[in-house]
Amino acid sequence: MPTILVNCTTPTHPKSCTLQKLPQDAIPARVVSLTPKSFAAWRYNASGSRDWSGLSRIKIHFKDSKGELVKTVEANEGDDLLSIAHEYDIELEGACEGSVACSTCHVILPPEYYDLLPEPEDDENDMLDMAFGLTDTSRLGCQVKLTRELDGMTATLPAATRNMFVDGGLPTNTVSSSD
């Protein structure tokens, strides 16, 4: 069975990946490295489908500001909520592309999951202060790294975002309405 190395600039986005066939003894049968920001390595079987053995798949539910389910997705341990949202076409902006320079990837988490996360760093707190609809359990999606303990978590998208780069700090509606 051939071993294929998958190099991805954005591991959760398949279009950013390149494939390289390696000798059978080049790497073990399990994942060697999975760094969410720059690298992923999966073992493919002969049919080309992913072998996720050894990886923790984590289920995340995304809801809109009205509490309606937008989508339930599965992601890898170590992925962040912003990257996952982009992979699955969920409207979570991320204007600064995860560099903690805006609040457009603001999400609201249930208290029981919020408490499982490390405390936000000062730069994240500074950006959260500018977020529209800030709550006690608000976090930036780019800073929420998935762990097994977060399996089943719901991330609620706020009704609007404040994008300083585009709208000068005025809230803009990010939820489409059928009214």
Domain that holds residue 39: 3-51
Token pair for 45: 């079987």
pLDDT averaged over the chain?
A: 76
Radius of gyration of the chain (CA): 18
Domain presence at residue 178:
no
Assess whether pLDDT exceeds 60 at residue 49. Answer: no
Assess whether pLDDT exceeds 60 at residue 76. Answer: yes
Task: Please state the rounded mean pLDDT for residues 138-162.
Answer: 93
What pLDDT, on the 0 to 100 scale, is given for residue 4? 58
- Does one domain contain both 45 and 68? no
- Does one domain contain both 144 and 84? yes
Give the CATH number of the domain where residue 167 resides.
Answer: 3.10.20.30
What pLDDT, on the 0 to 100 scale, is given for residue 161? 75
Most confident of 3-17, 53-67, 72-86, 95-109: 72-86
- Does one domain contain both 94 and 10? no
What pLDDT, on the 0 to 100 scale, is given for residue 160? 83
- Does one domain contain both 92 and 146? yes
Tens of pLDDT, residue by residue over 166-176, are 444 444 444 43
Tens of pLDDT, residue by residue over 111-149, are 999 999 999 999 999 999 999 899 999 999 999 999 999
Assess whether pLDDT exceeds 60 at residue 97. Answer: yes
Q: Closest Cα partner for 137 from 119, 149, 160?
A: 119
What pLDDT, on the 0 to 100 scale, is given for residue 96? 85
Rounded to an integer, what distance in angstroms lies between the CA atom of residue 132 and that of residue 142?
A: 16
